[in-house]
Structure 1
Amino acid sequence: MASPADISLKLPLPYTDSIEIRNFIGGKWYAPSSNSYFDNYSPSTGKVISQIPDSNAADVDLAVQAATDAFPRWSALSTQQRAAHIHKLADLIEENLETMAQFETMDQGKTLTMSRNVDIARTATNFRYYANYVLGNPTEPSSVSTYIKPFNSAEGLPISAQALSYTNRSPVGVAGLISPWNLPLYLLSWKIAPCIAAGNTCVCKPSEFTSITAMMLTRLVKQAGIPDGVINIVFGLGSSVGNSLVTHPKVPLISFTGGTITGKKIAAAAAPMFKHISLELGGKNPALIFDDANLDECIPTTVRGSFQNQGEICLCSSRIYVQRSIYDEFVARFKDYIRNNVIVGDPTDQNSFYGALVSKPHFEKVQSVVQKAQSEGAHVEFCVDLSVSTHIKSIGKNGSLQVSGLEDGYFMAPTVITDVDQSSTVVQEEIFGPVVVILPFDTEQEAIHLANDVVYGLAATVWSLDQAKLRRVSSQIVAGTVWCNCWMVRNLDMPFGGFKASGVGTEGGGYSIDFFTKKQTVCLG
């Protein structure tokens, strides 16, 4: 077993030992106060890959105290000084990108191509973006002159005055940052970067399913010279570590990305303490395909937007609504494209489109949803051509795949469901796997109604060659992001967040800086 001292970023790959994760508190690595660990498994092999600390409230207390102690020094640094540290961290991530990508793939199950080109590359980009952002938009006072009209002094108001009003913007203190397992380091860095760039310190809680790259990040934090206590990471379960962090009286900010059920619990716990919360939650995202869509572009993009990262992206399209006049053609071409292009297999194979689902419990949950759809009479098709995917030994009745050499991995076939009612579970509830539903619609208004007919409102896509229709339809869809004739095109300056059960708050660009700063108005008369 590799100890924390052994976890440099030069471990040989492929790595076959098990890694003992340690908490990172005040610049040092600690065993949990319970001295207890639990196993975590590699999704592609089903074998133990790491031991995760079973941390508790005592560990969170230590981390919060370390962050509290570090806050005065870190917040007192100039914007330029903080940005220099963050740029150095981004440099180190880029230098170690390949190693970190391979461990992300072993830990999460996603393809190495995805880890390399998206997850770890975007992690470095997140830090660099916010270092540059605060340099260009320093959190310094803004001012405006205000003229106060004269009033009758008998009313107790000033007769006249010339005043200068300005805003002081300053860091808040210690932030609790809770990140998910689908884009582990990518989304953790999306929280850490604006948090520390604005002058705050943080206590982070990564998912217990994907902790290795967060542990690796701590080594780089030390190398970058970021002062001890600015970034602290406590590993463990949400029920213990997450809950202790959310309810801690010295943590005024909570940023969480994850499931809606957990988000509700966080909101309920944080509300009586008047904490400032940002919740990026689940989605059940529609794709609307109108009969004038360019199917040659639409189908490959919609396949990617449905199945990338095993469908384990909150922004994936899981409900596809197709205008009835082209419905049969679309379904046939969509399935055919999947069979010939969506190769499921070894995540380290560059030919694999997607890899294994993140954990056995999640793997079983996705299969249970498919089984329920089958029992309700839906048409379920596992779009795998064994003559193309010759490495797949068999397809299970609920879509599980036996991959040659990785028989114990959590692999799932790309699954297309049709002939199902709008009210069914598979249409209404987030699955977070490689499963899509395709349903027909007749009119524009019906498409909009179907798109909005779920409790979620995170993202949507619309396909049409009619620009007026694109603008008209997108404005009526209740979703935080609407892509028209594209998917996952991101401008980091733009607001990102969900409506309804998909979240509270907005992140991205200056919106994240707003969340991580407090604003004070001062009026000089």
Structure 2
Amino acid sequence: MAAAVEISLPNGLKYSQPTGLFIGNEFVPATGEKFAVINPATNEEVITLPGASEADVDKAVAAARRAFEGEWSELAAVDRGSFLYKLSELIDRDRKLLASIDAFDNGKARHTYTDALEGDIDESYNVFKYYAGAADKITGRTIETSPAKLAYVLQEPLGVCGQIIPWNFPFMMLAWKVAPALACGNTVVLKPAEQTPLSALYFGKLVVEAGLPAGVVNIIPGIGSVSGKALAGHMDVDKIAFTGSTNTGRAIMKSAANNLKNITLECGGKSPSIVFEDADLDQAAKWCHSGIMYNQGQVCTSTSRIYVHEAVYDDFLKRFVEITKENARVGDPFSSETWQGPQVSQAQYDKILSYIEEGKSSGARLLHGGSKHGSKGLFIEPTVFADTTEDMKIIQEEIFGPVVAISKFSTEAEAIAKANDTSYGLAAALFTEKISKAHKVARKLQAGMVWINSSNDSHFGIPFGGYKSSGIGRELGQYALDAYTQSKAVHVNLGSRL
């Protein structure tokens, strides 16, 4: 058995942190490369964990296969739902601890820690509840072909599902992937991000407490280039679901091609906001600010490009900068005064600062921020660039930090063209008081999700995913059930003779 480590969190909570790997309902030693988990608020090491090796991935996949072909496949759908409901209750019970763990090793602040009971963890609780209710409602169809024939379609689970989740919403992304997969009757091998594995490992304790059969859920933290690559290319894995960067998504897609795995990829974004001349500018500025600065800008759907009609451009800039200054409370994630916490890692911190320097050198007008914050930890000032052009890197490339690029437009057609001028297509927002314009523009935006007079809305019953290089497939709602099942057609001869 792998040893647990006692951890004291900055808000006074203490808990026993599992280490190693969670395979077959046990925490077992890992045999791969070690990696450090840091507290980004101090840039100090919290714990060193052993990562999963290729051999460890083999063991986890074998455990998931045994469970899929054994006890889990024999369960009635309503019983699978009962297990998911038990997990939702345990998440609800431990919500403060789970939120605290994610704030500790991710740096989540205000909206994601102080309000985590209504944010990330509440979403996770609801996702498990939603799919608990959906488990026994996955139905096929009967199709009439002729009086002498009967045809029906079964929706069956895919099998062993490899799931690779990101560091920006550690526990919530676990819920988005694990809950629908289990509801459909699959088993799971989950690989959390090496930056934020702690809440996923803690979830293993909840799996045991809920009484799920051994091997239904397996958790293998480790280095992405080792354990993630081995999982994506494993010949006995039937599906890979991944959330992360587009470049990594491409690599996973190549690895998954060896046995033509079913895939769901939710990748990067460079989402636009369009502010029309008739918009409520106060509301537009507030939503646009939240859309990029929320979660330290570390959101795949961040509306990091803002296009404003020339008639209201200066007015909008003034309001946006005022709101940014009001909320530029960067610091300790566990302080009630903090709005923005640290970036998740040194690599991410350095990358964001390099983009800020690129914005300065390319001629963009710096209105706020533009440098690191403080002398300790991985903090960056919320940064606002104006008068940007389409050829600038800060417009074209995903920064994944608290950096926004704002420019103007003169016509509706120009705004749509600029919004769509990207290799990504995850999300988009638009602000107007004209209902006809809102729906017309929404249809023309090349994005999997469009928000009208808001930003970054999501709901566990609504599909989440993008166009173009932002991914393949959809998560959440009925769409996730479709993603974790396959259709089997059965043809029955009722008496036709040759």
> 1:142–1:77: structure 2 CA closer, same or farther, 3 Å change rule?
same
Number of the residue aligned with 2:496: none
Is the CA contact 1:130–1:197 (under 8 Å) kept in the aligned structure 2? yes
1:243-262 C-alpha deviation (Å, 9 max, x unpaired): 00001000010000000000
Q: Could you say what secondary structure the match of 2:406 adopts?
A: strand
Q: How far 1:91 moved relative to its partner? A: 0.4
1:307 to 288, 293, 304: 293
Q: Could you say what secondary structure the match of 2:398 adopts?
A: coil
Q: Which runs of 5+ in 2 are unaligned?
A: 494-498
> 1:50–1:10: structure 2 CA closer, same or farther, 3 Å change rule?
closer
Number of the residue aligned with 1:43: 40
> 1:325–1:203: structure 2 CA closer, same or farther, 3 Å change rule?
same
Number of the residue aligned with 2:124: 123
Aligned length: 489
**Correspondence 1:350 to 2:351:** no
Q: How far 1:19 moved relative to its partner? A: 5.7
Number of the residue aligned with 1:390: none
Q: Could you say what secondary structure the match of 2:373 adopts?
A: strand
| Structural mapping, 1:4-83, within 5 Å | 6=4, 13-14=11-12, 21-34=19-32, 36-72=33-69, 73-83=71-81
Q: How far 1:382 moved relative to its partner? A: 2.9
Q: Which one is further off, 239-248 or 417-426?
A: 417-426
Q: How far 1:15 moved relative to its partner? A: 6.3
Q: How far 1:142 moved relative to its partner? A: 2.2
Is the CA contact 1:24–1:218 (under 8 Å) kept in the aligned structure 2? yes
Determine what percentage of the aligned residue pairs are the same residue: 38
Q: How far 1:200 moved relative to its partner? A: 0.5
1:349 & 1:217 partners in 2: Cα distance? Answer: 26
> 1:441–1:472: structure 2 CA closer, same or farther, 3 Å change rule?
same
1:295 & 1:141 partners in 2: Cα distance? Answer: 48
Number of the residue aligned with 1:377: 363
| Structural mapping, 1:240-279, within 5 Å | 240-279=226-265
**Correspondence 1:185 to 2:171:** yes
1:400 to 340, 353, 372: 372
Q: How far 1:117 moved relative to its partner? A: 2.6
1:40-77 C-alpha deviation (Å, 9 max, x unpaired): 21011111112122321000000000001111211220
Rg bigger for which structure?
A: 1
Number of the residue aligned with 2:424: 456
Number of the residue aligned with 1:469: 437
| Structural mapping, 1:288-307, within 5 Å | 288-307=274-293
| Structural mapping, 1:119-198, within 5 Å | 119-135=120-136, 138-147=137-146, 161-198=147-184
Number of the residue aligned with 2:391: 423
> 1:110–1:290: structure 2 CA closer, same or farther, 3 Å change rule?
same
Is the CA contact 2:106–2:196 (under 8 Å) kept in the aligned structure 1? yes
**Correspondence 1:364 to 2:354:** no
Q: How far 1:302 moved relative to its partner? A: 1.3
1:102-156 C-alpha deviation (Å, 9 max, x unpaired): 1110110011225333122211111111111223xx2344213223xxxxxxxxx
1:91 to 89, 92, 106: 89
Q: Which one is further off, 183-192 or 419-428?
A: 419-428
Is the CA contact 2:279–2:431 (under 8 Å) kept in the aligned structure 1? yes
| Structural mapping, 1:198-347, within 5 Å | 198-347=184-333
1:381-401 C-alpha deviation (Å, 9 max, x unpaired): 334xxxxxxxxxxxxxx5100
Is the CA contact 1:322–1:438 (under 8 Å) kept in the aligned structure 2? yes
State the AA in 1 paired with 2:224. Answer: G
1:417 & 1:21 partners in 2: Cα distance? Answer: 43
1:464-490 C-alpha deviation (Å, 9 max, x unpaired): 001000011110000000000112333
1:305-332 C-alpha deviation (Å, 9 max, x unpaired): 1101001111111000000000011001
> RMSD between aligned alpha carbons?
1.9
Is the CA contact 2:163–2:241 (under 8 Å) kept in the aligned structure 1? yes
Q: Could you say what secondary structure the match of 2:304 adopts?
A: strand
1:3-48 C-alpha deviation (Å, 9 max, x unpaired): 96546899895369996731100111112124x5221210111111
1:349 & 1:11 partners in 2: Cα distance? Answer: 13
State the AA in 2 paired with 1:417. Answer: F
> 1:168–1:214: structure 2 CA closer, same or farther, 3 Å change rule?
same
Is the CA contact 1:18–1:48 (under 8 Å) kept in the aligned structure 2? no
> 1:20–1:290: structure 2 CA closer, same or farther, 3 Å change rule?
same
State the AA in 2 paired with 1:511. Answer: Y
Q: How far 1:263 moved relative to its partner? A: 0.5
> 1:312–1:363: structure 2 CA closer, same or farther, 3 Å change rule?
same
Number of the residue aligned with 1:441: 409
Q: Which one is further off, 442-451 or 500-509?
A: 500-509
2:364 & 2:38 partners in 1: Cα distance? Answer: 33
Q: How far 1:341 moved relative to its partner? A: 2.8
State the AA in 2 paired with 1:168. Answer: L
Q: Which one is further off, 38-47 or 340-349?
A: 340-349
Give the TM-score of the pair, scaled to structure 1: 0.90
State the AA in 1 paired with 2:354. Answer: S
State the AA in 1 paired with 2:142. Answer: S
Q: Could you say what secondary structure the match of 1:175 adopts?
A: strand
> 1:52–1:9: structure 2 CA closer, same or farther, 3 Å change rule?
closer
Q: How far 1:221 moved relative to its partner? A: 0.6
Is the CA contact 1:18–1:51 (under 8 Å) kept in the aligned structure 2? no
> 1:377–1:229: structure 2 CA closer, same or farther, 3 Å change rule?
same
Q: How far 1:271 moved relative to its partner? A: 2.1
